[in-house]
Amino acid sequence: MTNLASRLVTYSPAYTIVPTYECFNRCTYCNFRTDPGRSPWLTIQEAEMIMKPLQAAGVCEILILSGEVHPQSSQRKAWFQRIYDLCELALSMGFLPHTNAGPLSYEEMSQLKSVNVSIGLMLEQVTPNLLETVHKYAPSKVPELRSQQLECAGELKIPFTTGLLLGIGESEKDWWDSLEAIAHLHQRWGNIQEVILQPHSPGSQQTFDAPAFDPQTLPQVIERAREILPPDINIQIPPNLVQEPSWLLACLEAGARDLGGIGPVDEVNPDYPHPHYQNLQEILQPAGWELVPRLPVYPQYDDWLSDKLQTAVKQWRIGKLFV
Protein backbone atom coordinates (compact mmCIF):
# COMPACT_ATOMS: atom_id res chain seq x y z
CA MET A 1 0.00 0.00 0.00
CA THR A 2 1.35 3.46 -0.94
CA ASN A 3 2.29 5.78 1.91
CA LEU A 4 0.14 8.82 1.13
CA ALA A 5 2.36 11.16 3.15
CA SER A 6 5.29 10.26 0.90
CA ARG A 7 3.32 11.52 -2.12
CA LEU A 8 2.70 15.01 -0.71
CA VAL A 9 4.31 17.98 -2.42
CA THR A 10 4.14 21.32 -0.63
CA TYR A 11 4.23 24.94 -1.73
CA SER A 12 3.73 28.28 -0.01
CA PRO A 13 1.01 30.66 -1.25
CA ALA A 14 3.27 33.71 -1.22
CA TYR A 15 3.72 37.25 -2.42
CA THR A 16 7.09 39.00 -2.74
CA ILE A 17 7.60 42.53 -1.45
CA VAL A 18 10.82 44.27 -2.57
CA PRO A 19 12.01 47.14 -0.33
CA THR A 20 14.66 48.05 -2.91
CA TYR A 21 16.32 46.56 -5.97
CA GLU A 22 19.50 48.49 -5.18
CA CYS A 23 22.45 46.21 -4.43
CA PHE A 24 26.15 46.85 -3.87
CA ASN A 25 26.97 43.38 -5.24
CA ARG A 26 27.30 42.87 -8.98
CA CYS A 27 26.86 39.15 -9.63
CA THR A 28 27.10 38.57 -13.36
CA TYR A 29 24.12 36.17 -13.44
CA CYS A 30 21.79 38.56 -11.56
CA ASN A 31 18.48 39.62 -13.12
CA PHE A 32 17.26 41.47 -10.02
CA ARG A 33 19.57 44.30 -8.98
CA THR A 34 19.87 47.95 -9.89
CA ASP A 35 22.78 50.26 -9.04
CA PRO A 36 22.63 52.14 -5.71
CA GLY A 37 20.67 55.35 -6.10
CA ARG A 38 18.75 54.07 -9.14
CA SER A 39 15.78 52.43 -7.42
CA PRO A 40 13.27 54.20 -5.16
CA TRP A 41 12.65 52.40 -1.87
CA LEU A 42 9.20 50.97 -1.29
CA THR A 43 7.29 53.02 1.28
CA ILE A 44 5.20 51.54 4.06
CA GLN A 45 2.11 53.15 2.56
CA GLU A 46 2.79 51.58 -0.85
CA ALA A 47 3.36 48.18 0.76
CA GLU A 48 0.06 48.41 2.64
CA MET A 49 -1.77 49.15 -0.61
CA ILE A 50 -0.11 46.10 -2.23
CA MET A 51 -0.91 43.77 0.65
CA LYS A 52 -4.48 44.81 1.37
CA PRO A 53 -6.08 42.90 -1.55
CA LEU A 54 -3.92 39.87 -0.71
CA GLN A 55 -5.82 39.39 2.56
CA ALA A 56 -8.71 37.85 0.63
CA ALA A 57 -6.53 35.99 -1.88
CA GLY A 58 -5.31 33.09 0.26
CA VAL A 59 -1.76 34.43 0.54
CA CYS A 60 -0.07 33.34 3.77
CA GLU A 61 3.60 34.27 3.24
CA ILE A 62 5.00 37.70 2.59
CA LEU A 63 8.56 37.29 1.32
CA ILE A 64 10.60 40.41 2.01
CA LEU A 65 13.25 40.14 -0.69
CA SER A 66 15.73 42.99 -0.88
CA GLY A 67 18.84 44.12 -2.64
CA GLU A 68 21.72 44.66 -0.25
CA VAL A 69 22.99 47.91 1.21
CA HIS A 70 26.68 47.80 2.15
CA PRO A 71 27.20 47.12 5.89
CA GLN A 72 29.30 50.32 6.18
CA SER A 73 26.87 52.51 4.21
CA SER A 74 25.20 55.46 5.92
CA GLN A 75 21.94 54.04 4.50
CA ARG A 76 22.30 50.63 6.19
CA LYS A 77 20.36 51.56 9.35
CA ALA A 78 17.46 53.09 7.39
CA TRP A 79 17.43 50.09 5.02
CA PHE A 80 17.25 47.61 7.86
CA GLN A 81 14.54 49.64 9.61
CA ARG A 82 12.46 49.62 6.40
CA ILE A 83 12.73 45.83 6.22
CA TYR A 84 11.77 45.50 9.89
CA ASP A 85 8.80 47.86 9.46
CA LEU A 86 7.57 45.94 6.40
CA CYS A 87 7.70 42.68 8.36
CA GLU A 88 5.81 44.30 11.23
CA LEU A 89 3.19 45.62 8.79
CA ALA A 90 2.77 42.20 7.18
CA LEU A 91 2.24 40.62 10.60
CA SER A 92 -0.30 43.27 11.59
CA MET A 93 -2.25 42.48 8.40
CA GLY A 94 -2.39 38.77 9.17
CA PHE A 95 0.49 37.49 7.02
CA LEU A 96 3.57 35.51 8.00
CA PRO A 97 6.82 37.26 7.01
CA HIS A 98 9.95 35.56 5.69
CA THR A 99 12.97 37.77 4.94
CA ASN A 100 15.81 37.22 2.49
CA ALA A 101 18.00 40.29 2.38
CA GLY A 102 21.57 39.02 2.13
CA PRO A 103 24.01 38.55 5.01
CA LEU A 104 22.90 40.29 8.19
CA SER A 105 24.73 40.99 11.43
CA TYR A 106 23.97 38.94 14.52
CA GLU A 107 22.15 41.96 15.98
CA GLU A 108 20.08 42.46 12.82
CA MET A 109 19.17 38.76 12.77
CA SER A 110 18.19 38.92 16.43
CA GLN A 111 15.85 41.85 15.77
CA LEU A 112 14.28 40.24 12.68
CA LYS A 113 13.59 37.07 14.67
CA SER A 114 10.82 38.95 16.49
CA VAL A 115 8.93 39.76 13.25
CA ASN A 116 9.75 36.77 11.01
CA VAL A 117 8.60 33.17 11.28
CA SER A 118 11.65 32.16 9.20
CA ILE A 119 14.57 33.75 7.37
CA GLY A 120 16.53 32.71 4.29
CA LEU A 121 19.85 33.11 2.54
CA MET A 122 21.22 31.10 -0.37
CA LEU A 123 24.60 29.62 0.46
CA GLU A 124 25.04 29.32 -3.33
CA GLN A 125 28.37 27.43 -3.33
CA VAL A 126 31.15 27.06 -0.76
CA THR A 127 33.97 27.14 -3.32
CA PRO A 128 36.02 30.38 -3.28
CA ASN A 129 36.77 29.94 -7.00
CA LEU A 130 33.60 31.84 -7.95
CA LEU A 131 35.08 34.97 -6.33
CA GLU A 132 37.33 35.11 -9.40
CA THR A 133 34.44 34.84 -11.87
CA VAL A 134 30.71 35.43 -11.30
CA HIS A 135 31.25 36.84 -7.78
CA LYS A 136 34.30 38.95 -8.57
CA TYR A 137 32.39 42.15 -7.76
CA ALA A 138 30.16 40.70 -5.06
CA PRO A 139 31.76 41.20 -1.62
CA SER A 140 28.90 39.56 0.29
CA LYS A 141 29.28 36.31 -1.68
CA VAL A 142 32.36 35.23 0.29
CA PRO A 143 31.43 31.65 1.26
CA GLU A 144 32.60 32.00 4.88
CA LEU A 145 30.39 35.06 5.34
CA ARG A 146 27.32 33.22 4.12
CA SER A 147 28.10 30.09 6.14
CA GLN A 148 28.42 32.32 9.20
CA GLN A 149 24.86 33.56 8.54
CA LEU A 150 23.51 30.01 8.80
CA GLU A 151 25.53 29.56 11.99
CA CYS A 152 24.09 32.76 13.52
CA ALA A 153 20.58 31.64 12.63
CA GLY A 154 21.26 28.37 14.43
CA GLU A 155 22.51 30.13 17.55
CA LEU A 156 19.42 32.37 17.51
CA LYS A 157 17.06 29.43 16.87
CA ILE A 158 15.71 30.89 13.64
CA PRO A 159 14.06 28.46 11.18
CA PHE A 160 16.09 28.87 8.02
CA THR A 161 15.95 28.27 4.28
CA THR A 162 19.13 28.06 2.24
CA GLY A 163 20.17 26.54 -1.05
CA LEU A 164 22.54 26.12 -3.97
CA LEU A 165 22.75 27.82 -7.35
CA LEU A 166 23.61 25.24 -9.98
CA GLY A 167 25.42 26.02 -13.22
CA ILE A 168 27.26 29.26 -12.35
CA GLY A 169 30.74 27.86 -12.94
CA GLU A 170 31.11 25.44 -10.05
CA SER A 171 32.15 21.80 -10.29
CA GLU A 172 30.19 18.69 -9.40
CA LYS A 173 32.43 18.25 -6.35
CA ASP A 174 31.45 21.76 -5.26
CA TRP A 175 27.80 20.65 -5.12
CA TRP A 176 28.58 17.85 -2.70
CA ASP A 177 30.93 20.02 -0.61
CA SER A 178 28.23 22.70 -0.33
CA LEU A 179 25.56 20.19 0.64
CA GLU A 180 27.87 18.59 3.20
CA ALA A 181 28.54 22.03 4.71
CA ILE A 182 24.79 22.59 5.09
CA ALA A 183 24.33 19.12 6.58
CA HIS A 184 27.11 19.78 9.10
CA LEU A 185 25.54 23.08 10.18
CA HIS A 186 22.14 21.44 10.55
CA GLN A 187 23.56 18.60 12.61
CA ARG A 188 24.94 21.23 14.99
CA TRP A 189 21.93 23.54 15.20
CA GLY A 190 18.94 21.76 13.64
CA ASN A 191 17.61 24.96 12.06
CA ILE A 192 17.59 24.26 8.30
CA GLN A 193 14.01 23.74 7.07
CA GLU A 194 14.71 23.54 3.35
CA VAL A 195 17.49 23.45 0.82
CA ILE A 196 16.64 24.95 -2.58
CA LEU A 197 18.34 23.49 -5.64
CA GLN A 198 18.06 26.35 -8.12
CA PRO A 199 19.23 25.72 -11.69
CA HIS A 200 20.80 28.66 -13.48
CA SER A 201 18.26 29.96 -16.00
CA PRO A 202 19.54 32.75 -18.26
CA GLY A 203 17.68 36.04 -17.98
CA SER A 204 17.49 39.20 -20.04
CA GLN A 205 19.45 41.41 -17.60
CA GLN A 206 22.48 39.24 -16.83
CA THR A 207 25.97 39.56 -18.31
CA PHE A 208 26.98 35.97 -17.45
CA ASP A 209 27.26 34.14 -20.76
CA ALA A 210 26.44 30.53 -19.97
CA PRO A 211 23.67 28.12 -20.94
CA ALA A 212 20.88 27.05 -18.66
CA PHE A 213 21.62 24.26 -16.21
CA ASP A 214 20.57 21.00 -17.85
CA PRO A 215 17.26 19.95 -16.21
CA GLN A 216 18.02 16.34 -17.05
CA THR A 217 20.89 16.51 -14.55
CA LEU A 218 18.74 17.87 -11.72
CA PRO A 219 17.16 14.55 -10.62
CA GLN A 220 20.64 13.08 -10.17
CA VAL A 221 21.68 16.07 -8.05
CA ILE A 222 18.52 15.68 -5.95
CA GLU A 223 19.17 11.99 -5.39
CA ARG A 224 22.68 12.70 -4.12
CA ALA A 225 21.45 15.66 -2.06
CA ARG A 226 18.89 13.40 -0.42
CA GLU A 227 21.73 11.05 0.57
CA ILE A 228 23.90 13.86 1.99
CA LEU A 229 21.27 15.96 3.80
CA PRO A 230 19.61 14.85 7.03
CA PRO A 231 16.10 13.46 6.37
CA ASP A 232 14.35 16.31 8.22
CA ILE A 233 15.62 18.88 5.68
CA ASN A 234 13.19 19.29 2.81
CA ILE A 235 14.50 19.68 -0.75
CA GLN A 236 12.88 22.44 -2.77
CA ILE A 237 12.90 23.00 -6.51
CA PRO A 238 11.41 26.04 -8.32
CA PRO A 239 8.81 24.74 -10.80
CA ASN A 240 9.13 27.80 -13.04
CA LEU A 241 12.77 26.80 -13.68
CA VAL A 242 11.92 23.14 -14.38
CA GLN A 243 9.27 23.75 -16.98
CA GLU A 244 9.16 20.36 -18.72
CA PRO A 245 6.52 18.28 -16.83
CA SER A 246 8.45 15.03 -17.21
CA TRP A 247 11.54 16.51 -15.57
CA LEU A 248 9.51 18.14 -12.81
CA LEU A 249 8.03 14.73 -12.02
CA ALA A 250 11.49 13.15 -12.22
CA CYS A 251 12.72 15.66 -9.62
CA LEU A 252 9.92 14.64 -7.26
CA GLU A 253 10.64 10.97 -7.75
CA ALA A 254 14.29 11.72 -6.96
CA GLY A 255 13.39 13.20 -3.58
CA ALA A 256 12.31 16.84 -3.92
CA ARG A 257 9.15 17.51 -1.92
CA ASP A 258 8.61 21.28 -2.01
CA LEU A 259 7.99 23.82 -4.79
CA GLY A 260 8.67 26.96 -2.75
CA GLY A 261 6.72 30.17 -2.69
CA ILE A 262 4.38 30.52 -5.64
CA GLY A 263 3.12 33.99 -6.44
CA PRO A 264 2.54 36.23 -9.46
CA VAL A 265 6.22 37.07 -10.11
CA ASP A 266 9.56 35.41 -9.41
CA GLU A 267 11.52 38.59 -8.68
CA VAL A 268 14.87 36.77 -8.88
CA ASN A 269 14.01 35.14 -12.22
CA PRO A 270 11.50 37.58 -13.76
CA ASP A 271 11.81 35.97 -17.21
CA TYR A 272 10.28 32.76 -15.83
CA PRO A 273 6.71 33.23 -14.51
CA HIS A 274 5.49 30.93 -11.77
CA PRO A 275 3.06 28.29 -12.99
CA HIS A 276 -0.50 28.57 -11.75
CA TYR A 277 -1.55 26.21 -8.97
CA GLN A 278 -4.13 24.58 -11.23
CA ASN A 279 -1.54 23.91 -13.93
CA LEU A 280 0.71 22.22 -11.37
CA GLN A 281 -2.22 20.12 -10.18
CA GLU A 282 -2.81 18.93 -13.73
CA ILE A 283 0.81 17.75 -13.91
CA LEU A 284 1.08 16.21 -10.45
CA GLN A 285 -2.28 14.55 -9.80
CA PRO A 286 -2.20 12.06 -12.70
CA ALA A 287 1.23 10.94 -11.43
CA GLY A 288 -0.14 10.32 -7.93
CA TRP A 289 1.21 13.45 -6.23
CA GLU A 290 -0.92 15.67 -3.97
CA LEU A 291 -0.07 19.38 -3.97
CA VAL A 292 -0.79 20.99 -0.59
CA PRO A 293 -0.11 24.47 0.83
CA ARG A 294 2.28 25.01 3.71
CA LEU A 295 3.27 27.90 5.94
CA PRO A 296 6.73 29.53 5.76
CA VAL A 297 7.56 27.87 9.10
CA TYR A 298 7.49 24.08 9.44
CA PRO A 299 5.48 22.69 12.41
CA GLN A 300 8.53 21.29 14.20
CA TYR A 301 9.84 24.85 14.59
CA ASP A 302 6.68 26.48 15.96
CA ASP A 303 7.96 26.41 19.54
CA TRP A 304 11.09 28.32 18.49
CA LEU A 305 8.89 31.36 17.83
CA SER A 306 7.86 34.09 20.24
CA ASP A 307 4.40 33.86 21.77
CA LYS A 308 3.22 36.59 19.40
CA LEU A 309 4.46 34.73 16.33
CA GLN A 310 3.14 31.40 17.61
CA THR A 311 -0.31 32.97 17.93
CA ALA A 312 -0.11 34.25 14.33
CA VAL A 313 0.95 30.81 13.08
CA LYS A 314 -1.80 29.01 15.02
CA GLN A 315 -4.43 31.23 13.40
CA TRP A 316 -3.29 29.85 10.04
CA ARG A 317 -2.93 26.24 11.14
CA ILE A 318 -6.31 25.94 12.92
CA GLY A 319 -9.14 25.16 10.55
CA LYS A 320 -7.06 25.56 7.41
CA LEU A 321 -5.46 22.91 5.25
CA PHE A 322 -1.86 23.93 5.81
CA VAL A 323 0.98 21.59 6.71
pLDDT, tens digit, 9 for 90 and up, residues 74-109? 999 999 999 999 999 999 999 999 999 999 999 999
Integer Cα distance of 254 and 225 in angstroms: 10
Domain borders along the chain are 10-309
Q: Are strands 192-199 and 290-293 parallel, antiparallel or unpaired?
A: unpaired
Which residue from 18, 12, 236 is spatially nearest to 117, judged by alpha carbons? 12
Q: Tell me the per-residue pLDDT of 126-145, one tens digit each, with 9 for 90 and over.
A: 999 999 999 999 999 999 99
Integer Cα distance of 186 and 196 in angstroms: 15
Per-residue pLDDT, 203: 95
75 neighbors 31 (Cβ within 8 angstroms): no
Question: 292 Cβ partners below 8 Å, 6+ apart?
Answer: 8, 9, 10, 11, 321, 322, 323
Which residue from 66, 71, 123 is spatially nearest to 99, judged by alpha carbons? 66
296 neighbors 61 (Cβ within 8 angstroms): yes
Q: Which letter, b or e, does each residue of 305-314 get, where b requires 16 or more Cβ atoms within 10 Å of its Cβ? A: beeebeebbe
Q: Tell me the per-residue pLDDT of 216-263, one tens digit each, with 9 for 90 and over.
A: 999 999 999 999 999 999 999 999 999 899 999 999 999 999 999 999
Q: Tell whether the model's pLDDT for residue 277 goes beyond 80.
A: yes
Per-residue pLDDT, 319: 64
Per-residue pLDDT, 320: 65
How many CB atoms are closer than 10 A to CB 220? 12
CA triple 219-142-105, angle to 5 deg = 110
Q: Tell whether the model's pLDDT for residue 1 goes beyond 70.
A: no
CATH of 10-309, one of 3.40.50.720, 3.20.20.70, 1.10.10.10, 1.20.970.10: 3.20.20.70
Q: What is the pTM of this model?
A: 0.96
Say how many CA atoms lie within 13 Å of 81 toward its Cβ.
Answer: 6
79 neighbors 40 (Cβ within 8 angstroms): no
